[in-house]
Structure 1
Amino acid sequence: MEGNFKIHNRLALDASLSPGLVFTPGSPLHLNLLTHYSHDTPTTITRTIEVNNQPREVTENFESLDMTTATEGATEACTTEASSTSLDHQSSSDTLIASPPSTFHETEKPPLQITHVLPPEKVDQRPFRQFRHVVFTVYRRLFTVVIIANIIALILIDISPQDTRFYFKAISSAASANLFVTIAIRQDYVINFLFDIFASGPKSGSLHIRRILTKVFEAGGVHSSAGICALAWFVRLAIFLTLSFENGSVRNVPILALTYVLLLLITGIVIFAHPKLRSKTHNTFERMHRFGGWLSSATFWTLIVLTAKYLANLSGSEQSTIEVLIHFPSFWLLTLNTIHAIVPWLRLRKLEAWPERLSDHALRLHLKANIGSFYTVRISDSPLSEWHSFACFIDSKPKNGSTNSVVISRAGDWTAKTIAEPKPYYWIRGLPTRGVLYMSLMFRSIVLVTTGSGIGPCLNLLFMDPSTRPTVRVLWSTPKPLATFGEEILGNVREADPAAVIWDTKRFGRPDMVALTWQLLMESQAEAVFVISNPKVTKMVVYALESRGVAAYGPIFDS
């Protein structure tokens, strides 16, 4: 900030702190003005300054103050004319470093200053780095393993004798096996089992091994690839039955028709599960998965029974329909799939909810759910319509007997409606499932990076006893944190990390999340970074750190 200032009263400097420093009346004095200051009245300002790199106390009495132009963000200078009293200036090179009063409209300092610059050097060469961290992620590696296993199975089946009974049995079994894997890997108890097993290693173990095990949340690659492979096997089954119908070996119209109906249903499920369509038409994706899945299961059961009956009636068959069925692996796999589809609905529960409106943008729902830490729950106000997953954390201050809370922020039609008109109850189904942050317990120290309502899942970790959780440094970027999320949540964050960086984007603008994360990482020397944010920020921060050799984790679209 540069300006011309006239001091019409005395500028007094403590002589004991500044011997020999004198102002000459009317002579210019160059001051470098910084941003920290303290003042008692609008006309009396006491501040610490530096003269020749020595700290001094200075009191300035201003009757009037005129300022011309201001330039924000830089070290500020002004030319001052001293009058009424003279002080001998020992050296023209002496510089006063001080701070302007609030009337200067200074730029407020952001909550964290960058002293550790993000290094440009990265671990791998660019082509390999892109391939490793962007193209061939753990998710896609698991995806590839399942694809290769299915290709091998297809080759083995095709080189086997082309007996109609064997071929149908083999193809239907392969399709059923992939459907089973697709559904099983998404079951609540399977997810929790995998997380608990992978997170059970000691913190004293190899950091390299712990970094690998933490990627368990990318097991969704198995789900998606098995689903695609199931579709491929049904395509192969449709081709086989069509050719068999033409050559007369399997002349059964209902079987052929049901095969194409099943193929159409599974194709629709796979198409709407594509990430782009899933994000744009989430409600359609969810209904297609639910109702299309139920209809596919019923169609497959009908197809299996009709096929068993047809094979039992073939000339030379010595088995009944029941006997043929129980010798089909697909019968047993389909039975397990049906059980998996039914069980979560047997745990459908209606919970009382006490809404706490944090702002027009966010709502906190207090639930009487008795759920532990690090779990995600599926919530709905209409069980057959749509379900939404939210991280559930333990209430530090229960309301009306509540045990848990979820934070809902405005992100779509359902969340906007819920914030505007919360209901006194909500439905949950199935078991609560583990989330990404549960894997943070494998590390001694972490940096926790979050934006907006992502602070909700983080409270699970922050509420833990410090002796049982890793040391945590928090970076939370959000607009108007106090107004949006309330004093209680901010207090929870500060209690867990007194030096937490809470970046108000309305005051300081959007921060460089990568640079700030790196700063906290260098300050704390943490073992890992966990990012809970929107997909864009999560991918950006995780890639920037992983490509520099840092263990960084964040939810993916199919976590």
Structure 2
Amino acid sequence: MAAKDPVTLLESEAKIGHIIDHQICTPTSSNASSTTFATSKASSASSLSAIKEKSLPLLITYPLPAEKLDEKKFRLLRHVVFTVYRRLFTLVIMANIIGLVFIDYRHRDFTSYIKVISSAASGNLFVAVAMRQDYIINILCEVFAATPKSTPLRIRRILTKVFEFGGVHSSAAICSTAWFVRLAINLTMNFENGTLRDIPTLALAYVLLLLFTAIVVFAHPKLRQKTHNTFERIHRFAGWTCSVVFWTLIVLTSKALSEAPGAEHSAAYILIRLPSFWLLSLNTIHGFVPWLRLRKLEATPEPLSSHALRLHLKANIADFYTIRISDSPLSEWHSFACFVDAIPRNGSTNSVVISRAGDWTSKTIANPKPFYWTRGLPTRGVLYMSLIFKSVVLVTTGSGIGPCLNLLAMDPSTRPSVRVFWSAPNPLATFGQEIIDNVYAADPNAVIWDTKQFGRPDMPAVTWQLLKESGAEAVFVISNPKVTGLVVYAMESRGVAAYGPIFDS
């Protein structure tokens, strides 16, 4: 079909398509000026004799309006530069800068300064680690998701941004590294003037600083995306090494402080009174706890196509949870939204859908294993926050339909009313009849767009159409970062509440 602007395609009248019991419609004409809407509807019959013809016009009756009339630079600052993630990031940075000014003003002597600096570094490290703990993530989500639907929409829109808590994690980690820079500089200065003559303490401070710097550098979004496996290994093994080095450092620092001129207490006395000692103890526990829940899950693979695989797991996990699975626990972990199996396979209770997106997913689809490892607690996903809205538009692409099945499978009386827009190549052939049926059971008028037949749709335009048709309160997008950012910005810049996973959620 000749290339044509997606909006023009949307505005074209659709030709009559054939519906064969939940099948995806195919166009009756290849004319570029007219196309059929890539969708299907549930048929009451269950055999080929139930073939019906039905006109499925696709007319954009609600054209995507211009962005709100605020200054463009301000709009970009609000929705692109100063996202909630970055606002939280900035808040933590500013708090630490204020703390640094206060500490430099109040503490002059070597002993007190070292204690306060190490405590500030440990405090930030504790916050960074705590914000990645499964139980803390789940508590935050449970508290915010308990917001009644009767709460004013403005408040619910703000509370839903809870999943951008990663801004606190990353900024606290950077601040911890910055405090270690300050600690290393101070130790070096005191080494040069003769106040501190402990070479091991100084050397360990620089080793620790080097490790933290490596963790922070490889966590940068672009580097993290390009070298994900390297990022994950450095985060894990450098983090463990940091814990060992840090323990050694605070013990040696306590010893050095006890031997400093004018010291009145022993190293043990100083150690147990250092906030760093207790904060590091909590961090060490946090490091061990997820691995205490290392489990092997039986998996029954169900090949959906050459591009997608459904793993049926014996996991006993409730709705709206994400699990990390791996076939090599010390190497790499991958997160997938887990949904309850409507039709158990080999005693399974839950499923995940895996689509081809990289080396690991390609390997798993080609050669699935009979078991996979999981660790820690399952964590709440972004879609869990959709429960505080009365109605939503669900936008997804490809295997993003997997997480959405949690919402779609709920009792209609307990979940928000939902409209679905799912764009994927050959949805029926790639993901199977069962998933198609699940989508239409929740939204009989769901929009399923076959990109192989019709090319890529104008995602914001179709989303806006469904939003205006349904009068929904919010839009949730489950897709790759590019599409998620495109649709979320298009909606937010027009005053609509829109949410989607961010790189660090």
TM-score scaled by length of structure 2: 0.90
Query: Structure 1 residues 117, 345: CA separation in 2 closer, same or farther (over 3 Å shift)?
Result: same
Query: Structure 1 residues 167, 550: CA separation in 2 closer, same or farther (over 3 Å shift)?
Result: same
Distance 2:365 2:78 in 1: 41
Q: Which residue of 2 aligns with 1:83?
A: none
Shift of 1:210: 0.1
Task: Indicate whether 1:219 and 2:219 are aligned.
Answer: no
Shift of 1:34: 8.8
Which residue of 232, 248, 259 corresponds with 2:205?
A: 259
Task: Indicate whether 1:185 and 2:128 are aligned.
Answer: no
Shift of 1:509: 1.1
Distance 1:72 1:144 in 2: 49
Residue type of the alignment partner of 1:267: T
Q: Which residue of 2 aligns with 1:516?
A: 462
Displacement over 6 Å in runs of 4+ = 108-111
Structure number having the greater helix percentage: 2
Residue type of the alignment partner of 2:141: F
Residue type of the alignment partner of 1:234: F
Shift of 1:322: 1.4
Distance 1:395 1:504 in 2: 25
Distance 2:361 2:96 in 1: 40
Shift of 1:239: 0.5
Query: Structure 1 residues 427, 518: CA separation in 2 closer, same or farther (over 3 Å shift)?
Result: same
Shift of 1:416: 0.3
Residue type of the alignment partner of 1:226: A
1:86-105 superposed matches below 5 A: none
RMSD over aligned Cα, in angstroms?
Answer: 1.8
Residue type of the alignment partner of 1:176: S
Which residue of 247, 256, 280 corresponds with 1:301?
A: 247
Shift of 1:121: 4.0
Q: Which residue of 2 aligns with 1:471?
A: 417
Distance 1:239 1:74 in 2: 69
Residue type of the alignment partner of 1:347: R
1:121-520 superposed matches below 5 A: 121-520=67-466
Residue type of the alignment partner of 2:99: A
Matched-pair contact (CA < 8 Å) for 1:123–1:547? no
Shift of 1:71: 5.1
Matched-pair contact (CA < 8 Å) for 2:195–2:260? no
Shift of 1:314: 3.0
Q: Which has the higher contact order (CA 8 A, sep 6+)?
A: 2
Q: Which residue of 2 aligns with 1:28?
A: none
Structure number having the greater strand percentage: 1
Q: How many residues align?
A: 465
Shift of 1:120: 1.3
Task: Indicate whether 1:73 and 2:33 are aligned.
Answer: yes
Distance 1:173 1:335 in 2: 13
Matched-pair contact (CA < 8 Å) for 1:447–1:528? yes
Matched-pair contact (CA < 8 Å) for 2:14–2:57? no
Aligned-pair identity in percent equals 72
Distance 1:484 1:522 in 2: 30
Distance 2:424 2:480 in 1: 12
Query: Structure 1 residues 477, 249: CA separation in 2 closer, same or farther (over 3 Å shift)?
Result: same
Shift of 1:364: 0.3
Gaps of 5+ in 1: 1-32, 39-68, 76-107
Max Rg structure: 1
Q: Which residue of 2 aligns with 1:43?
A: none
Distance 1:363 1:326 in 2: 52
Residue type of the alignment partner of 2:343: K
Matched-pair contact (CA < 8 Å) for 2:439–2:446? yes
- Give 3-state SS (helix, strand or coil) of 1:352's partner: strand
TM-score scaled by length of structure 1: 0.81
Matched-pair contact (CA < 8 Å) for 1:111–1:502? no
Shift of 1:161: 3.4
Matched-pair contact (CA < 8 Å) for 1:123–1:549? no
Shift of 1:113: 3.1
Bigger mean CA offset, 190-199 vs 112-121: 112-121
Gaps of 5+ in 2: 1-12, 19-28, 36-53
Shift of 1:524: 0.2
Query: Structure 1 residues 358, 216: CA separation in 2 closer, same or farther (over 3 Å shift)?
Result: same
Distance 2:237 2:57 in 1: 49
Q: Which residue of 2 aligns with 1:86?
A: none
